[in-house]
Amino acid sequence: MALLMASVLWVYTAPAQAAEVTQLDITGGSISLNFGVLGTVSGTFNADGQILMDQFQPPPNIFDPITISHLTFSIFSSSGGALNLPAPTAQTTDSTMTADLRSLFAGVTSSGWSWMNTNSAMSSLNIGGTATGSFNQTSNAFDIAWTNPFNLTLTTLPVLGPIVLTSGNFSLQGTAQVAPVPVPAAVWLFGSGLASLIPMIRRRLMN
């Protein structure tokens, strides 16, 4: 019996295994960009889309363009050429999620700032980062966020001077598709060990 109890404790105190995410099904999120002296443009959005793991998605494959205030974002993923960024990946461990979304980009246009629409930096802005957040093991719902410190000078305007995109905050919500976690070898060993102990336990109970 002591051996049986020790086996149970050994199996159930094993560290939690990470599960690989195969797809993020997005239902909404938020974007906040700080343009220094021009202030911050921020807001939330509701949009259905998907981020596929281990592959790049040219526009508009993630979701249709979204508009926040006077800015419209067309979001896609790319290696970034010389940047050689990795394709998106994500993992869950218990109630947390970590996602490598460094390869996310956005084409950004404005209905209010005409200079932005001819700015090459805003036509392919790397908005990605390493995202972390919560994961619901029952519903597979996730809520992740990240920050990007841009420090990118975009233009110079009369009176105002240099216009700098200083930073951005981003979040995504939705549900994740998760690959099945392989059963650890320890579980199989525990099962076979338990099966071998059953006859011994029966004999002891009968004596």
What gap in Å lies between CA 175 and CA 74, rounded to an integer?
A: 21
pTM metric for this prediction: 0.81
Quote the pLDDT of residue 183: 53
| DSSP string of 113-133, one letter each residue | -GGGGG-HHHHTEE---EEEE
Q: Which helix (H) or strand (E) holds 190?
A: helix 185-206
Domain locations in the chain?
1-21+186-207, 23-177
Q: Which residues of the chain have pLDDT under 70?
A: 1-16, 181-207
Within 13 Å, how many C-alpha atoms sit on residue 128's CB side?
A: 24
pLDDT (tens digit, 9 = 90+) per residue, 71-118? 999 999 999 999 999 999 999 999 999 999 999 999 999 999 999 999
